[in-house]
Amino acid sequence: MSENESGFNDTIATNDRIAVDRLRLRNLWFVANRNVTRKQALTERMTRPEEEPMHIVTKTSVLLISILGLAACETPSEPFAFDTTFSSFADIETAFQASTDALVDEDGALVDTDDISQSADFTAADLGSTIYNGAIIASEEDDGGTLIGQLQLEVAFDTNTMDGRAGNFFHSEDGAVTGTLLGNTTFVRDVDVDADENHFTMALTGALSENGRGYAATIDLEGNFLNGANEIESIAGDATVNLGEGAATYEEGAFAATR
């Protein structure tokens, strides 16, 4: 073999080795890349079951919370519970008739207008938030009987607002009248006594039931704060009782409450 032929054959062998090496490198790259792709796919499959349930649980939790929230909104609130309750008309009359008569007549007119509190009395009392307990009393027309119910007035003197609650009613002839009436209002501190001005008016509304019949009831209060041994000791005035269509009608009644 000549020298030229030998060099030519060496060149071909070298090129063949280079081609083989390139092919091996390409195969190695392909295998490595395929392994990476498989590893990514495996990682995604491993993580996806953990991520998706998290989204599902979160959505389920939100739905559950929403349902519970709606259920809470639709649940009727418990009736207001007075500290002292009575089991008969005789009991509640004994508890409140005399104390009410001491402040107002049966039609709600104040026994002594000189006791009406004035602006300086509110400042001197500095009561913050105070609760007054008492009763509403009204007589049915045509001597049909008397209705008495407990009354609670919660007064926030720092904001000149008040909340009212009435319940545990008894009728002298028909017995218990179930249900609770609620209301709220604002009040003024300066009133003209000579002009028969009131510190506040308040509408107590709600559902009452008597002898199995339900009524949409309203009791309108018009009243004044009164001084006694202390400033702003009591609240009293007239009460207009309206038990709604089909119920008995009542004459102008009275209310009184003391802290």
Q: State the pLDDT confidence band at 1, using cuts at 50, 70 and 90.
A: low
pLDDT over 80 (residue 184): yes
Higher confidence at residue 33 or residue 164?
164
Question: Based on the domain organization, do 217 and 243 belong to the same domain?
Answer: yes
pLDDT of residue 211: 84
Domain contains 82: no
pLDDT over 80 (residue 109): yes
Least confident of 45-49, 117-121, 237-241, 250-254: 45-49
Question: Based on the domain organization, do 180 and 244 belong to the same domain?
Answer: yes
Could you read off the pLDDT of 4-45 as tens digits, one per residue? 444 444 544 445 555 445 545 555 544 445 544 444 544 444
Domain contains 84: no
Number of domains present in the structure of the chain: 2
User: How confident is the prediction for the chain on average, in pLDDT?
Assistant: 79
> In terms of residue numbers, what domain contains 16?
1-75
Question: Based on the domain organization, do 239 and 191 belong to the same domain?
Answer: yes
Question: Based on the domain organization, do 219 and 94 belong to the same domain?
Answer: yes
Rounded to whole angstroms, the Cα distance separating 82 from 95 reads: 14
pLDDT over 70 (residue 87): yes
Of 75, 97, 131, at which residue does a domain stop?
75
Rounded to whole angstroms, the Cα distance separating 247 from 244 reads: 6
For 6: left if phi > 0, alpha if psi spans -120 to 50, otherwise beta; the answer is alpha
Q: Does residue 151 contact residue 165 with C-beta atoms inside 8 Å?
A: yes
